[in-house]
Amino acid sequence: MELGFTHHQSAHCENGVASNLLKHNGFEISEPMIFGIGSGLFFVYIPFLKVNHAPAISYRPMPGTIFNKAAKRLGFTVKRVKFSNPKAAQQALDDNLKNNIPTGLQVGVYGLTYFPDEYRFHFNAHNCVVYGKTETDYLVSDPVMEHVTTLTHKDLEKVRFAKGAFAPKGQMYYPTSIPNKADLPKAIIKGIKETCRDMLAPVPFVGVKGIRTVSKLVRKWPTKYGVKVANHYLAQIVRMQEEIGTGGGGFRYIFAAFLQESADILGKPELRELSHEMTKIGDKWRDFAVEASRVYKNRSSKSDVYNLLADEMLKIADLEEAFFKKLKKAIA
Amino acid sequence: MKKDQVPQDEGNLSKNNVRELLYATDEQGNYTTALSKGWEPKSIALSNAMDDISERMELAKADFKAGKSSPIVYFMEASKMDLTILASYVGMWQWRVKRHFKPSVFAGLSDKILQKYADAFDIDINQLKNFKAD
């Protein structure tokens, strides 16, 4: 059994699934639009939490929030169901397929056999769409993959019931009602406002202040933990920033694409200017990754490299602070 | 980033034929998408993570041979898990899992408990029982 479903590759899994499911339901919307309206741009450092034996730093909000916020702001409803029993979870998915509903799933990355080994870590907030089933396999549209793929029945159960932080608990979701015409400008402004608020939040672990906090930590790492651990931590930052799904530069490029699209919809040419500015900030994050990779590959000949990297981060934080203040004014 | 500057570095991703989508600007400065075969700073970061896992596995082997830790530690590292994740997979308290890291405690574990670990690691129970660390 195979439902007619068009796979579009996207940068990020959650926006990609959202955009693909909406397109399937006749609502044309781009990935950057979902990302921006769902306030997808973020920076957070979570103290005391370790991921892969390194500090937890993320360039995105909690999984699921982008789609939920976008849904609320665009006026469509999403049904989400979690399961405690794998059999019931499979039954519900099969029923959906019978009813011609391609279904979004939250899955763990570790068990995704179609990913290269380097990507397979215990990260449980990945998303994909199942759009069909054969005797042995489920047909999977994973938005970060170039083409559609498959998982065996057993493997799909495994990834749906992966354990650990953000365990998916078999979660499946699909839009149930689609508005004929959404109030796009209003949704865009709401999305931007929240992003500005988050990035300028007066909390030391979030947004621009979060970047400054991490910059302070980077300075201390080599003396506190030794060069080896410090390098591992640094590599972790770069992985989070450039991980498959970020669209490059810690989501900054997707956000710039969103601003550009919004400039036309809102009739605000200044957003185009801001889009260029965000692109430059994205480039700075990429430069940071290049410098950082030289350090953890021990290729850097510069002395005092950690302080230099920390200074780079501070510069980016300053740029982002100025940027979001301007953006806030532009849509006020 | 400009579209013609989207990196196409050969690396582990290109070996697996995986291309990822990036957002980049065209000549007019308009946003479009581009596929990337890979980027060196990122592949170094990824291989750093893989090397870290291998080192942890080697250490776990050495500890096992020295009688300092049970095979569970080795398979935990091999499955890229940490204590939190493993405890969640086997459905036990972390302190209990940690006790099972001790060779003396491990030796007395029932097949029922061992099976839980084997399932979590996706291996046969005998691989746990007859672990040689070769």
User: pLDDT of A309-332, one tens digit each?
Assistant: 999 999 999 999 999 999 999 998
Tell me the pLDDT of chain A averaged across its residues: 91
pTM of the model: 0.91
- Indicate whether B75 and B108 sit together in one domain: yes
What span, in angstroms and rounded, lies between the C-alpha atoms of B11 and A244? 14
Q: Which residues of A touch B29 (CB under 8 A)?
A: 276
- pLDDT computed for residue B106 by the predictor: 97
- pLDDT computed for residue B74 by the predictor: 97
Residue range(s) defining the domain that contains residue B28: 3-38
- pLDDT computed for residue B15 by the predictor: 67
Residues 231-270 of A with CB under 8 A from B: 231-232, 235-236, 238-239, 242, 244, 247-249, 253-254, 256-257, 260-261
Residue B73 domain-assigned (yes or no): yes
Residue B45 domain-assigned (yes or no): no
- Indicate whether B59 and B112 sit together in one domain: yes
Report CB contact under 8 Å: A297, B44: yes
For residue range B3-48, list pLDDT tens digits in order.
888 988 887 666 677 888 999 999 988 999 999 988 888 888 888 8
What span, in angstroms and rounded, lies between the C-alpha atoms of A185 and A259? 12
Residue ranges of chain B whose CB lies within 8 Å of a chain A CB: 1, 12-13, 15-16, 18-25, 29-31, 33, 35-36, 39-50, 52, 79-82, 84-85, 88-89
Q: What percent of chain B has pLDDT over 90?
A: 66
pLDDT for A299 beyond 70:
no
Substitution target in B2, B5, B20 with the highest count of A β-carbons within 10 Å is B20
Show the tokens assigned to A230.
């410090």
- Indicate whether B70 and B121 sit together in one domain: yes
- pLDDT computed for residue B43 by the predictor: 86
Please name the residues in contact with A161: beta carbons below 8 A apart, sequence gap of 6 or more: A86, A89, A167, A168, A169, A170
> Please, what is the Cα angle at A159 between A154 and A163, to 5 degrees?
120
Q: Other CB atoms closer than 10 Å to residue A147's CB: what's the count?
A: 9
Domains and CATH numbers, chain A: 13-37+77-177 (3.90.70.10), 184-331 (no CATH)
Q: Which residues of A touch B51 (CB under 8 A)?
A: none
pLDDT for A106 beyond 70:
yes
Going by pLDDT thresholds of 50, 70 and 90, the confidence category of residue A303 is low
What span, in angstroms and rounded, lies between the C-alpha atoms of A97 and A104? 11
Helices (H), B18-90: 40-65, 71-78, 83-90
For residue range A160-198, list pLDDT tens digits in order.
999 988 899 999 999 998 887 789 999 999 999 999 999
Going by pLDDT thresholds of 50, 70 and 90, the confidence category of residue A296 is confident
Show the tokens assigned to B34.
């581009």
For residue range A50-77, list pLDDT tens digits in order.
877 888 888 888 878 899 999 999 998 9
- Indicate whether B62 and B87 sit together in one domain: yes
- pLDDT computed for residue A242 by the predictor: 85
Q: Are A254 and A32 in contact (CB under 8 A)?
A: yes
Please name the residues in contact with B104: beta carbons below 8 A apart, sequence gap of 6 or more: none
Helices (H), A178-226: 184-199, 207-225
Q: Which of B15, B8, B126, B118 is nearest to B72 (CA)?
A: B118
- Indicate whether B74 and B123 sit together in one domain: yes
CA dihedral A27, A28, A31, A36 (to 10 degrees): -70
- pLDDT computed for residue A49 by the predictor: 80
For chain B, what is the domain count?
2
Going by pLDDT thresholds of 50, 70 and 90, the confidence category of residue A147 is very high
Half-sphere exposure of A237 (CA within 13 A, CB side): 27
Please tell me which residue, A164 or A129, carries the higher pLDDT value: A129
| H/E run at residue B27 | none
Residue B17 domain-assigned (yes or no): yes
Q: In angstroms, what separates the C-alpha of A111 from chain B's closest C-alpha?
A: 11
What CA–CA distances, in Å, run from A38 to A73, A248, A320, B46?
A: 8, 18, 19, 29
SS3 B20: strand
Under 8 Å CB pairs connecting chains A and B tally to 121
pLDDT for A286 beyond 90:
yes
- pLDDT computed for residue A182 by the predictor: 81
- Indicate whether B27 and B85 sit together in one domain: no
Residue B100 domain-assigned (yes or no): yes
Please tell me which residue, B73 or A117, carries the higher pLDDT value: B73
Of A53, A116, A247, the CB nearest to B16: A116
Residue B134 domain-assigned (yes or no): no
Arithmetic mean of pLDDT, A88-114: 95
Residue B46 domain-assigned (yes or no): no
For residue B115, the domain's CATH number is: 1.10.260.40
- pLDDT computed for residue A8 by the predictor: 93
- Indicate whether B115 and B61 sit together in one domain: yes
Substitution target in A258, A260, A293, A309 with the highest count of B β-carbons within 10 Å is A293
- Whole-complex ipTM: 0.89
Residue B118 domain-assigned (yes or no): yes
pLDDT for A94 beyond 80:
yes
Residue B67 domain-assigned (yes or no): yes
